[in-house]
Structure 1
Amino acid sequence: MHFRCQKKDLVEGISTVQKAILGKSPMAVLEGIYIETGANEIIMRGSDIDLSIETLVSSSILEDGRIVIDSKLFGDIIRKLPDATVEIATMENNTILISCENSEFNLLYLNAEEFPMLPEIGNREKISIREDVFRNLIKATSFAVAQDESRPILMGVLFEVKNKVLNMVALDGFRLALRSEYLESNEDLSVVIPGKTLNEVSKILGDKNELLYISFNENHILFEVQNTKVVSRLLSGSFIKYESIIPTDYKLQFKVKRAHLAQSIERASLMAKEGSSKLIKLQIENDRAVITSNSQFGKVKEEVSVHMEGDAIEIAFNANYLLDTLKVMEEEEILLEMTSSVSPAIIKNTVVDNCIYMVLPVRLTR
Structure 2
Amino acid sequence: MNFSVNKNEFFNNLQIADHAISSNSPQPILRGILISAKEGQLTLTGSDADISIQKIMKADEKNQLNISEEGSILIDAQYLMQIVKKLDSEIISIEIIDGSLTKFSGSSVVFKINGMNTDDYPTIDFSKPMNSIKMDAAVLSDIIDQTAFATSLKETRPVLTGVNFNLNNDQLNCTATDSYRLAKKTIEFKSDVSFNITIPSKSLNEVRGTILMNAKEIEIAQNDKKAQFWSEDMVLQTRLLDGGYPETERLIPSEFSYTMKISREDLIHAIDRTTFIKNDNMTINRLQCSSDEVILTNKSQEIGESHENLNAVFTGEPLDISFSGTYVMDAAKALRGSEIIVKFTGEMKPFILSCDEDTTILQLVLPVRTYN
Question: What interval of TM-score do these two structures reach, taking the shorter chain for normalisation?
Answer: over 0.9
Query: 2 CA distance for matches of 1:306 and 1:285?
Result: 10
CA contact (8 A) 2:150 2:183 kept: yes
> What CA distance in whole angstroms lies between the structure 1 residues aligned with 2:127 and 2:255?
43
After superposition, residues 160-309 of structure 1 pair within 5 angstroms as 160-206=166-212, 210-270=216-276, 272-273=277-278, 275-286=280-291, 288-295=293-300, 296-309=302-315
Rounded to whole Å, the distance in 2 between the matches of 1:348 and 1:218 is: 33
Instruction: Note if 1:91 corresponds to 2:97.
Output: yes
The runs of at least 4 aligned residues of structure 1 exceeding 6 Å deviation read none
Q: 1:90 to 1:217 in 2, by over 3 A?
A: same
Contact 2:55–2:235 under 8 Å retained in 1: yes
- The Cα of 1:310 is off from its aligned counterpart by 2.0
State TM-score, norm by structure 2.
0.93
Q: How far apart are the structure 2 equivalents of 1:314 and 1:278?
A: 17
Opposite residue 229 of structure 1, the aligned amino acid is: V
| 1:135 equivalent among 131, 141, 161 | 141
Q: Which residue of 1 aligns with 2:326?
A: 320
**Residue in structure 2 matched with residue 329 of structure 1 by the alignment:** 335
Aligned-pair CA distance for 1:143: 0.6
SS of equivalent to 1:302: strand
Counterpart-to-counterpart distance in 2, 1:343 and 1:288: 22
Q: Distance in 2 between matches of 1:138 and 1:146?
A: 14
Deviation at 1:184, TM superposition (A): 3.5
> 1:365: how far off?
1.6
SS of aligned partner of 2:274: helix
Q: Shift of the alpha carbon at 1:150?
A: 0.7
Q: From the superposition, tell whether residues 66 and 154 of structure 1 become closer, same or farther in structure 2 (CA, over 3 Å).
A: same
Q: Output the CA distance in 2 between the equivalents of 1:276 and 1:170.
A: 23
How far does residue 164 in structure 1 lie from its aligned partner after superposition?
2.0
Deviation at 1:280, TM superposition (A): 1.0
Tell me the SS of whatever aligns to 1:20.
coil
CA distance in 2, matches of 1:287, 1:178: 32
Aligned residues: 365
SS at match of 1:317: strand
* Aligned twin of 1:18: 18
Distance 1:252 1:16 in 2: 48
Report the alpha carbon displacement of residue 276 of structure 1 after superposing the two structures with TM: 2.8
**Contact conserved, 1:132 with 1:207, CA < 8 A, in 2?**
no
Distance 1:276 1:321 in 2: 14
Quote the offset at 1:19 in angstroms: 1.1
For the residue of structure 2 that corresponds to 1:264, the secondary structure is helix
SS at match of 2:98: coil
Distance 1:268 1:199 in 2: 28
Q: Provide closer, same or farther for how the CA distance between residues 364 and 81 of structure 1 changes in structure 2, counting only shifts above 3 A.
A: same
Structure 1: where are the runs of 5+ without partners?
Answer: none
Q: Distance in 1 between matches of 2:96 and 2:312?
A: 68
Unaligned runs of 5+ in 2: 59-64
CA distance in structure 1 between the partners assigned to 2:214 and 2:360 by the alignment: 21
Matched letter for residue 238 of structure 1: G
Partner Cα distance (1:199, 1:291) in 2: 33
Equivalent residue number for residue 39 of structure 2: 39
Partner amino acid for 1:290?
A: I
TM norm structure 1:
0.95
Higher deviation after alignment, 338-347 or 19-28 = 19-28
Of residues 349, 353, 360, the one that matches 2:355 is 349
Q: Which residue of 1 aligns with 2:164?
A: 158
CA positional deviation for 1:207: 5.8
Structure 2 partner of 1:144: 150
SS of residue in 1 equivalent to 2:25: coil
Which deviates more from structure 2 when the two are superposed, residues 242-251 or residues 288-297? 288-297
Alignment RMSD, CA only? 1.7
